[in-house]
Each structure stands twice: as structure tokens, then as C-alpha cells.
Amino acid sequence: MSDRPLEPHAEPHAEAQRRVVRDSLGVGIATGLYGASFGAVSVASGLDVLQTCALSLLMFTGASQFALVGVLGSGSSAVTGALTAALLGTRNTLYGLRLAPLLGWRGARRIGAAHLVIDESTAMSITRPSRALARTGFLTTGWSVFVLWNLFTLLGAIGGAVLGDPRTYGLDAAVGGAFLALLWPRLQDHDGRRLALAAAAVALLAVPLVPSGLPVLVAGGVALVVGVLHARREAP
């Protein structure tokens, strides 16, 4: 099971494994259920049920999926939609950089594992003290989110088509709330809050000036500018 010998005083291995599985399943279930609101929002934005399910199966990263259907729903081009989704997906690249040495997978296993690199599977594995526990957290969270997210996307898409205008149920407001919740951990320090407020302000200023979908990319430009300035200041 374990590729590292146990510390003499560490929590017994089987018990630690059970705890990681239990916590991961909890996160997986809570996140997976949320797929229903993605399904409903996606259909309300004008995608059909098949396209909606294809997104959850093939893209499988929530913020990018919401962004893509939001951008398409506001009438923007496919290129803008795909680009916005990809830009939001860049954080999974950073997760991968941190996960790679921890999980230690190569070849086909790495190619398969890459699909499961998302916020939740990363969060449930990077804090683990051993490779075995990290792998357990990653796989349990990743798979449980994947199965439930896709199942509930389908249910939400079908239900959304039956229920009609999602604004009646406040689903358009739910997306804003979800993004704020995803952003929340990064707003705990002063720099994060300042950057977020600046980016939001820039996006709103851009709304009447550029086609919809682009304001979010313009907001991403704020990160580029601030990041470059910061790196210059830090440089010797």
C-alpha cells in the first residue's frame, strides 16, 4: 500500500486512509451536487443538453464551464468563449505543478490523472503528509466529483429545460455567488482584496465599451500588469 515506511508515532496508516477517504467523499458529494445548477444555467444560456453534458465530461472544471456558457449566453463568439474558459483553466496548470512531485505519476497514469486536476482534488491532496495519502485524497475526491458532477449536470440540464426561466429561481444570481465563494479564500489578505476590486472595476468599466465576454479577459490583464510590476520591484 504505502511507498514510505510509517513514522513510529504517526496516526495508524489504515485509520489515516479512512479519514482521507471520508473527508474527500464529503467534498466530492457537496461539489458534485452543484453540477445540477451548472446543468440548469447552461441550458438557460442556450446550450442544448448534449453540449452541456459534453462540457462536464470533457472540460470538467467548474469555473471554466460556467464562464464558457455565460460568455456564449451573452452572444459572444465561440473563440471568446473558449479563450475565457482556457484562461480560467490556467490555475489548474499551477495546481498540476504543485501536484506532480507529490503524486509522482508518469506516462499513462499521468495522462489520466490530468483530467482530475481541479480545485477540490488539489485541495484534498496537497496537505497530506505522505504520497499514499495524497494519492488517496486526489483520487477519491477527483472520482467522486467527476461521477456526481456529470450525473447532476444531466439532471440539471433536463430539469432546467422543464422548469423554464432560471431567473425565477435566482439561478443567474447563484452563479455570481458561486464565483465569489470560489474567490473567497484569495480575499483573506490585503493584496488579494485590492487586486480583486481593481479587476472588478476594470471589468465593469469595459462592459459598455467592448463586446460581452471581453470584460473578463480585460480583468485578467490587471493580473498581468500587477504581476509584472511586482516581479520588477522584487528583482535585485
Partner 1 sequence: MSAWWAVLGGAAACYLLKLAGLSVPASVLDRPLVRAVADRLPIALLAGLVAVQVLAGDRGVVLDARAAGLLAALGLLLLRAPFLVVVVGSALTAAALRHVGLMS
Q: Rule CB under 8 A: is residue 210 a binding residue for partner 1?
A: no
Three-state DSSP string of 188-223: CCHHHHHHHHHHHHHHHHHCCCCCCCHHHHHHHHHH
CA within 13 Å, CB half, 184: 7
Q: Rule CB under 8 A: is residue 107 a binding residue for partner 1?
A: no
What does DSSP assign to residue 9? T
Q: Rule CB under 8 A: is residue 150 a binding residue for partner 1?
A: no
Amino acid present at 14: A
Residue 7: CB minimum distance to partner 1, A: 25
What does DSSP assign to residue 3? S
**Residue 10 near residue 16, CB atoms below 8 Å:** yes
Q: Report residue 139 as a C-alpha cell.
A: 483520487
Radius of gyration of the chain (CA): 20
Restricted to residues 5-44, the positions that interact with partner 1 (CB under 8 A) are 30-31, 33-34, 37
Restricted to residues 59-78, the positions that interact with partner 1 (CB under 8 A) are 59-61, 63-64, 66-68, 70, 72, 74, 77-78
Q: Rule CB under 8 A: is residue 124 a binding residue for partner 1?
A: no
Among 6, 147, 201, 210, binds partner 1 (CB under 8 A): 201
- What is the contact mask toward partner 1 in residues 181 to 200, using x (rule: CB under 8 A)? xxxx-x-----x--xxxxxx
Among 91, 126, 158, 161, binds partner 1 (CB under 8 A): 91
Nearer Cβ to partner 1 (16/142): 142
Distance CA 116, CA 96 (A): 10
Q: Rule CB under 8 A: is residue 227 a binding residue for partner 1?
A: yes
